[in-house]
Amino acid sequence: MKSFLLAFALLALASSFASAFDPSPLQDFCVAVDDPLHGVFVNGKFCKDPKLAKAEDFFFSVKNPGNTNNPVGSNVTAVNVEQIPGLNTLGISAVRIDYAPYGQNPPHTHPRGTEILVVLEGTLLVGFVTSNPDNKLFTKVLNKGDVFVFPIGLIHFQFNIGKTNAVAVAGLSSQNPGVITIANAVFGSDPAINPDFLAKAFQLDVKVVKDLQAKFWMDGN
């Protein structure tokens, strides 16, 4: 219970710096709605008439563990404007991340949000890499109750180094921070990036690149 209270406190903290990236709302809330005939377009979504808003517009549950039976051994349950329409214009979102033993949330970036992560169970090796030319790695082993921040736009990762399942929650400073998983984007793009170009960029044999492209394209399609 204390872990969850800490997690929600961190989500509240994340909202304090959210306005640096998402536009500040000019009304109490703007519940996203898919019907343009009965709404006002604000920040990428149409707003429901406030008189029609209901509690369910501001609610979503992450009490159930995600399925980690996949190649990377992790599952990210997003809680953004797509799951909670009431988050529209509020500049904050969250995720629950479940990790199987030795599972990982592979290197990725959030182009529109800083992330603050708190470990609820298990032990994680986490880190991020700064931009060119330094490409400096900042890394830390986190245990239950520990907190770590991943700055906006930087490549980062989490790896469960324990023999048991791990769980973390994170707040992000955007209602829809986006995610770009590096390997999927580079080797699993549709259509595929020219393998000769990637071979030179990554200093790999073209055959290796083509094998990676076949694997990631198949996993993602």
* pLDDT tens profile 89-146: 888 999 999 999 999 999 999 998 999 999 999 999 999 999 999 999 999 999 999 9
Q: Kindly report the pTM of this predicted structure.
A: 0.82
Tokens of 18: 């959210």
Of the listed ranges 12-26, 40-54, 159-173, the least confidently predicted one is 12-26
- Extended beta strands in the chain, E state: 32-33, 39-42, 45-48, 74-79, 93-99, 104-109, 115-121, 124-129, 137-142, 147-150, 155-160, 166-172, 180-181
Q: Would the pLDDT of 211 be above 80?
A: yes
Contact status, residue 142 vs residue 123, Cβ threshold 8 Å: yes
Task: Provide the pLDDT confidence category of residue 18 given band limits of 50, 70 and 90.
Answer: very low
